[in-house]
Amino acid sequence: MSGVKFLLDTNYILGLLKSQPAVLEELALRKIGISECAYSAITRIELLGFQEISREEESLIRQKLERLTYLPLSRAIEDVTINLRQTRKIKLPDAVIAATALCAGIELLTLDKQFQSLTLKTET
């Protein structure tokens, strides 16, 4: 995982795929390279798990994910997820993504600022 500094949340990757100005501006302003970015197992599931996903959308998502570092679930991520769910009101997918960032010691990039502040305030 050498060089990885950021975990991209599902909504952030969608913003990247849709070329949303807020996402593109942040990446450019902070000079964040794609090689510095990762995604969690839950993000992969969320992005590819829609029943109505077209072949073109699936192909585009898979191509984008191939350029990022994949962070699989681990026992440590499960334990932090459990702790987050026990101590905060947070949805399971968000808890897994937050726990992944916390366990990897990397910054979460998300369009949900309340969600991002959770990982900044939480200690592993």
pLDDT of residue 122: 46
Nearest to 94 by CA among 12, 36, 15, 17: 12
- Residue 58, C-beta contacts closer than 8 angstroms, at least 6 positions apart: 48
- Residue 36, C-beta contacts closer than 8 angstroms, at least 6 positions apart: 3, 4, 5, 6
56-111 pLDDT per residue, tens: 999 999 999 999 999 999 999 999 999 999 999 899 999 999 999 999 999 999 99
120 pLDDT more than 80: no
Token readout for 102 is 């916390």
Report residue 124's pLDDT band, with 50, 70 and 90 as the boundaries.
very low
Question: What is the three-class DSSP state of 7?
Answer: strand
pLDDT of residue 102: 94
Token readout for 67 is 């350029």
Report residue 123's pLDDT band, with 50, 70 and 90 as the boundaries.
very low
**Interstrand relation of 37-40 and 107-109 (parallel, antiparallel or unpaired):** unpaired
| Structural domain contains residue 22 | yes
| Structural domain contains residue 1 | no
| Structural domain contains residue 95 | yes
Q: How far is CA 89 from the centre of its chain?
A: 19
Domain CATH code at residue 10:
3.40.50.1010
Split into its structural domains, the chain has a count of 1
What backbone phi and psi angles, to 5 degrees, belong to 79?
Answer: -65, -40
Q: Which domain holds residue 33?
A: 6-121
6-55 pLDDT per residue, tens: 999 999 999 999 999 999 999 999 999 999 999 999 999 999 998 899 99
Of the chain, the end-to-end C-alpha distance in Å amounts to: 19
Which of 1 and 61 is assigned the larger pLDDT?
61
